[in-house]
Amino acid sequence: MTRPTRHGHRGLRIRSLAAAIVLAMPGMALAQEASEEPASDAPTLDTITVTAQRRVENIQDVPMAITTVQSEKLQVLGSGGEDIRFLSGRLPSLNIESSFGRAFPRFYIRGLGNTDFDLNASQPVSLVYDGVVQENPILKGFPLFDLDQVEMARGPQGTLFGRNSPAGVIKFESARPEQEFGGYGRISYGSFNGINLEGAVTGAVGEGASARLSVMHQRRDDWVDNIANGSGDDLEGYEESAARLQFLFQPGENFEALFNVHARKLEGTARLFRASIIRQGSNELNDGFRRDRVSIDGHNSQQLDQLGANLRMRWDLGSTALYSITGFESVEAYSRGDIDGGSAYVFPPDEPGESLFPAESADGLPRHRQYSQEFRIESDEWGRFDWQAGLFWFNEKIDVESFSYDGFGGPQNGYAVQTQDNTAWAVYASGDFDVTDSLKLRGGLRYTDDSKDFVAQRVVGPFGPPIAPIKVNPSDTDVSWDLSAVYGVNDDVNVYGRVAKGFRAPSVQGRLMFADATLPASELVTVADTETVLSVEAGVKAQLWEDRLRLGFALFRYTVNDQQLTAVGGASNVARLVNADKTVGQGAELDLEAWLTDHLLVTFGASYNDTEIQDDDLSVFQCGSLCTPKDPAGSVPGTLRIDGNALPQAPKHVYNLTARYGIPTSHGEFFAYTDWAYRSEVNFFLYEAVEFTGDPLLEGGLRLGYAWNSGDYELAMFGRNITDEEAIVGAIDFNNLTGFLNEPRTWGLEFKARF
């Protein structure tokens, strides 16, 4: 079969999107007629409450860009067994990618993120799960199941959420225990013998006490044949389980305590790197490429075990309320892969499975402990003025191990270790004042102290001598703040403005496995100084057409000073931290949700992000893999100047669309649900190269089903990536033109019961 050309893929994308539009057009025409005089019993949009400002508020009254994802949409997007990356592109300005498989997602909001694959990497997007910050990137991959809501607050969140949130915060809230007995179960079967199980049960366990048990299990067979070891499927399978047990204690109206213990276990395939799948001189898939085949001579495996707990307590003191959030997280992980992605070594490599030289390595997290404690007090309806203040403490201790192998699945020939002890504490206060019935002002301030004790050494080097322990102790203090105003034009429309300063604490990179031992310690272990961001945002939020249409629109511009960037790979395959003098970003975002007819609900999200690195003197090492750089040469041989480049993994355009159409019957409802996400091209690295530019990507999903007994039961057929898009979403640049791919097309059947 002839592989579709690039133009063929684009034509397929256009036809797919056109088909979705055509399906929606009859509903749009009916919507125009209905908009003239909506029926009194027409469906309306429920009020969305969020906790982006640490208190429950109507999303329309919060002066910042916020997007939420409700439980039904989460279930649809995750129906194929995908990990947390299924959210990528499903919210404006959000991109998520990974070179580590299901275990290590990297988040980007408004272009700000970190491409570093180190287990000690710092990210500018903060993830908060049930009130507890998940600092280590491995923790950020905890599965999404039995959730009440997802919130994404864009822009710096340094006042109420602290350090390492200059890009924004993504919050996950689990469904809480209830006194009334109930629950649900979901089971699906699909492509590659994929099985997905999810369920929850809740109810009273005594007077004033209730519990909720939530479980999830996902598995998929191997479906990629490693032809280097004969026929048979060997790779891309996984088995993952997770559980959450909650106890809610409410002895009276003045106190409640919610205890949560959760666990995760993952076994499967690490990220599958594919040698020479990028055609030299272009960013197209090489001739002869097949998604279901590779040829590697190294091992590939991944294991992860996570355990965590938190306790959230609230005391009602009358005019104030006191909160306490105690969190603990621990994770152990190990991932080994054939990094060169091939089994034949020639020069130049130009066929899939051919590399310049063998490379096989592994990373492990044998010890990780994170503790956090927060106390917060807030006013309770003080009239025109309300406030909150708090104290926060955080400590994380980790050990990171790196291993190198002889490249043919053979014995270990290198070993390096990193240890880090990170302690941070903060004090903060925030308040809002109703100047008039229409105008509300807000402001906040936070002081943070952050320090790290870091040690790295190479015990055994595959190509060089050991490197004695190198110690660094970066620390800094910073003051974050925000000021905002929201003005009610009328009962349905609010306009707002916000200016905010956030920061990211100093970070350390000490991957010594392949480092040149003759370099000074400051170049072997690199430290990135504190980065700060100043963001200005203005927008409008409206709920119109008798609560059948809700929209949010924002314009923003930010400047990052001393931005922390990670130069990964290069000819020597060494990651280094650098600070860019300045990065500027600007853009616009739109969220829209509407009942276009009584039976058609549509959501649409769009964002434009223009980012630019501004540093005349900043250069990074270029690829060592026969690529075609587009940047000018730096002053040091083998380097490229990146001044003027866009940030990596920062698409200018992100669009998403969902449409749900229901046909009621006497006993239930037939429904069709489609969802589409588009992102424009991205750079994989800080430098620009022809081969390492990811093409635009459009992926769609479809769900057809029948629900009955007031929605208690549902049977549906689903498909993910229904147009079977094949796209290179990341690359390895130190060896040959190695890349990795998006998820394949999957189909399945699902049954859900609620009781």
Q: CATH number, domain at 721? A: 2.40.170.20
Token pair 């270990």 in the structure block, residue:
412
Give yes or no for residue 3 having a pLDDT over 60: no
What mean pLDDT do residues 382-388 have? Answer: 94
Task: Measure the CA–CA gap between 683 and 667, rounded to whole angstroms.
Answer: 51
CB atoms within 10 A of CB 202: 23
| pLDDT score for 65 | 96
Structural domain includes residue 46: yes
Give yes or no for residue 10 having a pLDDT over 50: no
Structural domain includes residue 402: yes
Give yes or no for residue 539 having a pLDDT over 60: yes
| pLDDT score for 430 | 97
Q: What total of structural domains would you count in the chain?
A: 1
| pLDDT score for 27 | 39
| pLDDT score for 350 | 86
Backbone angles phi, psi at 602, to 5 degrees: -125, 140
Q: What is 97-155 written as a DSSP string?
A: E-SSGGG--EEEETTB------TT---SEEEEETTEE--STTGGG----SEEEEEEEES
Task: Measure the CA–CA gap between 621 and 686, rounded to whole angstroms.
Answer: 10
Give yes or no for residue 315 having a pLDDT over 50: yes
Task: Measure the CA–CA gap between 755 and 749, rounded to whole angstroms.
Answer: 20
Token pair 């026969």 in the structure block, residue:
626
Q: What angle do CA 152, 199, 238 make, to 5 degrees?
A: 80
| pLDDT score for 80 | 86
Give yes or no for residue 660 having a pLDDT over 70: yes
Higher pLDDT, 308 or 52: 308
Backbone angles phi, psi at 31, to 5 degrees: -65, -40
| pLDDT score for 221 | 97
* 610-651 tens-digit pLDDT: 999 999 999 999 998 789 999 999 999 889 999 999 999 999
Give yes or no for residue 150 having a pLDDT over 70: yes
Backbone angles phi, psi at 10, to 5 degrees: -65, -40
Q: How many CA within 13 A on the CB side of residue 416?
A: 32
Task: Measure the CA–CA gap between 360 and 533, rounded to whole angstroms.
Answer: 38
| pLDDT score for 31 | 39
What mean pLDDT do residues 282-305 have? Answer: 94
The whole domain housing 153 covers: 6-754
184-198, 308-322, 326-340, 559-573: segment of lowest average pLDDT: 559-573
In 3D space, the residue among 529, 533, 527, 535 whose CA is nearest the CA of residue 508 turns out to be 527
In 3D space, the residue among 356, 371, 369 whose CA is nearest the CA of residue 311 turns out to be 371
Give yes or no for residue 4 having a pLDDT over 50: no
What mean pLDDT do residues 599-606 have? Answer: 97
| pLDDT score for 22 | 37
Give yes or no for residue 458 having a pLDDT over 60: yes
What mean pLDDT do residues 244-262 have? Answer: 96
Q: How many CA within 13 A on the CB side of residue 705?
A: 21
Task: Measure the CA–CA gap between 123 and 130, rounded to whole angstroms.
Answer: 19
| pLDDT score for 71 | 84
| pLDDT score for 195 | 97
Structural domain includes residue 305: yes
CB atoms within 10 A of CB 79: 24
Structural domain includes residue 315: yes
Largest CA distance in the chain: 79
| pLDDT score for 366 | 96
Q: Mean of the per-residue pLDDT values for the chain?
A: 92
- Could you tell me the pLDDT band of residue 41, with boundaries at 50, 70 and 90? confident
- Could you tell me the pLDDT band of residue 409, with boundaries at 50, 70 and 90? confident
* 221-238 tens-digit pLDDT: 999 999 999 999 999 999
Structural domain includes residue 1: no
| pLDDT score for 32 | 39
| pLDDT score for 419 | 98
Give yes or no for residue 733 having a pLDDT over 80: yes
